[in-house]
Amino acid sequence: MLTLDSGSGIWTPILWLFLFVLFSVIVLWLRGFGRSDYKKGTDQTMIFFSGNMEPLKDMVHIRSTNLYWGFTESLSVVFEKLRKAHTGRINDYVYWFVVVLALLFIIVILPGGGLQ
């Protein structure tokens, strides 16, 4: 019940969990060696921007539109083509269905195709 046998190996989540907890305890123990003079609610908790005022919270948060910008920008050729293919028009949805059905007809009905 505890072990999943995949044929090539095994997967025992409880063992994994035990190791995870063990390593977490070690990490927390190491963390205990850190400085203990940190005080919440003082200037220590303020973000340091070279002496400038801390921006508004709305300005600090990195929004979803900015995340992975570099990745999507560098692959923009691919992403733009995909985006353009998703027009949102029902005509195109039906078009893709017709194209797939036509290809299926050719592949399956050709001799040596779908049935034997």
Partner 1 sequence: MSDLFTTHLPALIIAIPLFAAFLTPLISRINGKGRNFVVIVALLMTFILTIKLAWHVYTDGTFLYAFGSSDASGFALHTPAGYVVPIRILFEIDAMSALMGIITSSLALLGAIYSWNFVEKYETQDKYYTLLLLMTVGMFGMVFTGDLFNMFVFLEVLSISGAALVAFRTEKGASIEAGLKYMIISSLGAMFMLFAVCLLYGQYDLLNLAALAKRMDYTLLDEIALVALIGAFAMKSGAAPMHMWVPDAYGEAPASISLMLVASTQASLYALFRVVFTLYGAHIDPTTIGWLFIIFGLLSIMVGVSMALMQDNLKRLIGYTAVAEIGYMMLAVGVAIASMGSGYSLMALKAGIFHILNDALDIGLLFLVAGVLFYRTGARNLAQLGGLARNMKYTTFFFMIGLAAVAGLPPTNGFASKLLIYESIYLFNPVLAIIAILASIFMLAIFVKVFHSAFLGPELPSLAKVKEAPPSMLIPMAILALVMIIIGLFPNLVYSTIVCEAAKALLDQGGYIAAMIGGA
Taking the complex as a whole, the smallest distance from the CB of residue 31 to partner 1 amounts, in Å, to 20
Only segment of 29-37, 38-46, 65-73 that touches partner 1 (CB under 8 A): 65-73
Under 8 Å CB-to-CB from 46, ≥6 apart: which residues?
Answer: 54
* Amino acid of residue 70: G
Q: Residue 70 and residue 83: Cα distance in Å, rounded? A: 17
**72 near 79, Cβ under 8 Å?**
yes
67 interacts with partner 1 by CB under 8 A = yes
Interface residues toward partner 1, by CB under 8 A: 1-9, 11, 13-14, 16-17, 20, 56-58, 60-65, 67-68, 71-72, 78-79, 82-83, 85-86, 88, 90, 92-94, 96-97, 99-101, 104-105, 107-109, 112-116
